[in-house]
A and B are shown apart, each in its own frame.
Chain A
Amino acid sequence: MARIIAGVTSSHVPAIGAAIDLKKTEEPYWKRVFSGFEKSKEWMANAKPDVVIAVYNDHASAFSVELIPTFALGCAAEFPPADEGWGPRPVPVVKGHPELASHIAQSVILDEFDLTIVNKMEVDHGLTVPLNLMFGSPPEWPCRVIPLAVNVVMYPPPTGHRCYMLGRAIRKAVNSYPEDLRVVVMGTGGMSHQISGPRAGLIKSKFDKAYLDGLTKDPKELTRISHVEFMREAGAEGIEMVMWLIMRGALDDKVKEVYRFYTVPASNTAVGHIILENLEPKTKSRRPASLRGGATRKRAAAHGIRQVAVRSKQ
């Protein structure tokens, strides 16, 4: 049975991608940013996920104003890097997992999340920069990646609560997939930043740090933050942080925070990053937490019950 072992969030600043592509990672300004991900790459190398579900947003690359899906799940076998105006980033083609992706699509649609299925899509820095931060720059990405594109460009994005509940539905879907797969969910974007208008440059570290705390300890409280509050307090584009709640919803209620990194700035943006592991199931396992395979059906059933309880409460 497939199982979500951990969740990771990371900013996806385009300038980070440019720094990698132009080999500036050793410059002091960028070293400050990249050094924060050294441990993360080690962690990822140990975790060895089979599949990453990457929650991100497209920045007018695959989707223009012609078509604006709120949630779009990539079910293709491959997702080439998009040309964002300087030619496609020199990163490997992202290999999907069409079978698991289709299974998730079917499961969450029947759970009343009417997402859009995408069978052809190019992916921009929103997806590829976090992959670089977590995997470095290998000739091929070491695992399959299922992109989940969320609209945060046109107002209104989905609410934090809706994102969280979608995460729950994704967890249920993954847990019901028969193949033994280790899955990591990534939430990207954020943290506080504004890149548009006269207020551009806004950063609020206090908001960001509290958001990171809440992500570990009390994500349901974060689901109550309104869009206006996100935009007002964390910058117009800081609203991207709703995407992190999909990741968090896909994890268990109790998680272990294994790593955190925060720095200001990367270009216009506060960079925030956290790694949360699901706790070990009570069954004995010789493998370390991050390498564990399946959970019991009992456990999945328990999640189902909890999920209903949460839904009726909120």
Chain B
Amino acid sequence: MTAAEASAKEAKEKEYDDIPGTFVFDADRSRRGYHLNMFCMSLMKAENRRAFKENEASYLDRFALTPEQREAILTRDYNRMLELGGNIYFTAKLGATDGHSFQHIAAIMTGSTQEDYAKMMLAGGRSIEGNRSKSGRDAAAKPAPRRTAAKSAKTRAKSSPGPTAKRAKKAGSKRG
């Protein structure tokens, strides 16, 4: 395939990079983050947690981490860890080693205090409005998945692959 085809393919595959504030743990990230995630996994054992706490830097020498990954771990930069191939279920083990809950780590990643974050959740969570799309191309409000009773299975099979396609492709400036 030509370079243009390859990049078109890449763009299509990474459609989810348009989702704001989200690092999708895909094959590329998984490959890049393998040792970072295996470091986190090692913290499932109490003796490893002890060794890590005693001397973080020297414990990290056991893993083939990139300098960026080391830095992100040592500074507890959870978003950066995700960007560099970490997965939340793994990095949460680092959080747990520090004595933090999932919610605490989630709050950190959103740049919020746990208290404010918990309040937001109690009030119904973060709204999708303004948080749907970076480019704004999927910004128009859409109905959640449903069908109209009149539509036959045959019509549906012929129409869009999913409710997404039914959404108006309106451009709009959205934060995120």
Q: Which residues of A contact B (CB under 8 A)?
A: 14-15, 18, 59-61, 64-66, 83-86, 153-156, 192-211, 213-214, 218, 220-222, 224-229, 231-233, 236-237, 264-265, 267-268, 270, 313-314
Identify A198's interface contact among B21, B37, B144, CB under 8 A.
B21
Q: Which residues of B contact A (CB under 8 A)?
A: 15-16, 18-27, 30, 33-34, 37-38, 40-41, 43-44, 79, 82, 87-90, 93, 96-97, 101-103, 106-107, 109-111, 117, 120-122, 124-128, 131-133, 138, 142-147, 153, 156-157, 160-164, 176
Report the nearest A residue to B154, measured CB to CB. A313
- 23 pairs, CB–CB < 8 Å, chain A vs chain B: A65-B37, A65-B90, A83-B44, A85-B96, A85-B97, A153-B25, A155-B16, A197-B22, A197-B79, A197-B82, A198-B109, A200-B106, A201-B106, A202-B131, A210-B146, A221-B146, A231-B19, A232-B18, A232-B132, A237-B88, A265-B122, A265-B125, A268-B106
Q: A206-B144, A267-B121, A313-B157 are in contact. Are A195 and B88 (CB under 8 A)?
A: yes
Q: A83-B44, A198-B111, A233-B132 are in contact. Are A155 and B164 (CB under 8 A)?
A: no
Q: How far is the CA of A210 from the CA of B82 in the complex (A)?
A: 31
Q: A64-B38, A200-B106, A268-B121 are in contact. List 19 more A-B contacts (CB 8 A).
A: A60-B40, A64-B41, A65-B41, A83-B44, A85-B43, A153-B87, A196-B88, A197-B109, A198-B109, A198-B111, A224-B145, A224-B156, A225-B162, A228-B19, A229-B162, A232-B133, A265-B122, A267-B102, A313-B157
Q: How far is the CA of A210 from the CA of B144 in the complex (A)?
A: 6
Cβ contact within 8 Å between B41 and A199: no
Q: How far is the CA of A309 from the CA of B162 in the complex (A)?
A: 21
Report the nearest B residue to A204, measured CB to CB. B128
